[in-house]
Structure 1
Amino acid sequence: MRFLIRLAITAIALWITTVIVPGVEVTGRNTTDTAVTLLVVAFIFGVVNAVLKPVIRLLGCVFYLLTLGLFALVVNALLFLFTGWIARQLQLPFQVDGFWAAFWGAIVMAVVTWLISVVVPDRREAR
């Protein structure tokens, strides 16, 4: 159940990102198609972050230290861009137009996901 809640939160954050950030678009034929696309892309985004982010953190720890953590913004943008590329390969109607759209998209995604997570508490934390 927790996985489905996190997936829904990520999909909502992704939808808000497509509304706010120019260059990040979902072009579904109808509302259902758009919702399914957002859920699939949210799943892809979660898998990409779960698999690649720890490896990148380990290999790039020097860059994180030298830039006082600002390198994380670049990493998040590249992971968001990679998610868009995977979605395009799967022929999903989701598009990220370049690095800067991915950069701002990753920032908006992080902030919105955090805000939604504050409103929707985790049951395990409540114990």
Structure 2
Amino acid sequence: MRATVYYFLLTTYYYYMHTLYRYLGTVAAVILTVYLVPGVTITGGWLSTLLVALVWSVITMVIRPVLQLLTLPITILTFGVFSLILNALLFWTMALVVPGFEVSGFLSALLGAIVLSIIAWLIQKVL
């Protein structure tokens, strides 16, 4: 009984620490994206940066899979190009939701979504 409780606590601890590391990796990816992509700015300081990372995490875990499923026929017809457009639209929508996060145009949103996805993927592969 005691070993089971210990195992539960240990696995719960590792799960939450892994989630925290992934979130901090997303924060780093957001900072690098703002630095690398012209037209993407954060004016609210650290709080806005943390909020952008949180909103992007929710978008990639909850909203994007549903939209990808709904737009699957269009994605197939365009050979996957619509998936990039969908990511750009979600990135641009994030600028409307998060105060202090600004995207100057669709091209910046497209480039920002691509860069953020690649950097976040690379960081999370390392973790």
TM-score range, shorter chain: 0.7 to 0.9
C-alpha separation in 2, matches of 1:117 and 1:74: 23
What's the CA shift string for 1:65-98, capped at 9, x where partnerless? 11221111000000101111101xxxx3211112
* SS, match of residue 68 in structure 1: coil
Which residue number corresponds to residue 56 of structure 1? 67
Aligned-residue CA RMSD (Å): 1.3
1:102 CA drift (Å): 0.6
Q: TM-score, normalised by structure 1?
A: 0.80
Pairs aligned (count): 111
Q: TM-score, normalised by structure 2?
A: 0.80
Aligned partner of 2:55 among 33, 44, 47 = 44
Contact 1:7 1:39 in 2 (8 A): no
The within-5 A match list for 1:30-109 is 34-87=45-98, 92-109=99-116
What's the CA shift string for 1:35-93, capped at 9, x where partnerless? 22211111011112223212211211111111221111000000101111101xxxx32
Structure label with greater radius of gyration: 2
Stretches of structure 1 that go unaligned for 5 or more consecutive residues are: 29-33, 121-127
C-alpha separation in 2, matches of 1:94 and 1:48: 15
